[in-house]
Chains A and B, each alone.
Chain A
Amino acid sequence: MTSKYETVIGLEVHLQLETETKAFCGCSTEFGKRPNSHTCPVCLGFPGALPVLNEKAFLYSIKVALALNCKIQDIIKFDRKNYYYPDLPKNFQISQFDMPLSYDGFVDVISAGGTSKRVHIKRVHLEEDAGKLMHPAKSSFSLVDFNRAGMPLLEVVTEPDINSPEEAYDYLTALKAILQYLRVSDCDMEKGSLRCDANISIRKAGEKELGVKVEVKNMNSFRWVREALHYETGRQIALAEASERIVQETRLWDAEKLVTISMRSKEEAHDYRYFPEPDLVPFIIDRKIVEDIRKALPELPEARANRFIKEHGLSEYDARVLTGQIDLADYFEECAGEYANKKTLTNWINGDIAAEMNARSVNILELGIKPKDLVGLLKMIDGQSISGKTAKDVLVEMIDTKKRADEIVSSKGLSQISDKDKIEEVVREVLAKNERSVNDYKGGKKTAITFLVGQVMKQTQGKANPAMVNEILKKHLGE
Chain B
Amino acid sequence: MAAFGSFALLIALALAAYNLLAGTLALRLIATGQPARISPERLADTARRAGIAVFLAVTAAAFALIWSVFSNDFSITYIMEHSNRALPGAYKFSALWSGQEGSLLLWAWLLGTYGFILRLTHKTDVKLYAYAGTILAGIQVFFLSILCFAAPPFALYRGAIPDDGNGLNPLLQYPEMVIHPPMLYLGYVGFSVPFCFALGALMMRYPGEKWIKVTRLWTMVTWLFLTAGIFLGMHWAYAVLGWGGYWGWDPVENASFMPWLTGTAFLHSVMMQEKKGMMKSWNVWLIFSTFLLTLLGTLLTRAGLVSSVHAFAQSSIGTWFVVFMGIVLAVCIFTYVLQRSHLKSEHHLESLVSRESSFLFNNLVLLTACFVILWGTLFPVISEYVVGNKVTVGAPFYNRVAVPIGIFLLLLTGVGPLLPWRAASFKSIRRNFVLPVIAFWVTAIVCLAVGVQPWKDGAFDTGNFYALVAFAVSAAVLTAILSEFLRGAAVISRQTGKNLIVGTWLLTRRNTRRYGGYIIHIGVVIVVVGLAGSAFNRNTESELALHDKLTIGPYTLECVGFTQDSNLNYNSEYALLDVYKGGKKQFQMAPEKRVYLITGQPQTMVAIHSVPSWDLYVVYEGTNPDTGQPIIKAILNPLVGWIWAGLVVLVFGTLVALVPSLSPSTASLRVPARTAPTEPALKGGHL
A-B interaction: no
Which B residues form the contact surface with A (CB < 8 A)?
none
Q: Which residues of A come within 8 Å of B, CB atoms?
A: none
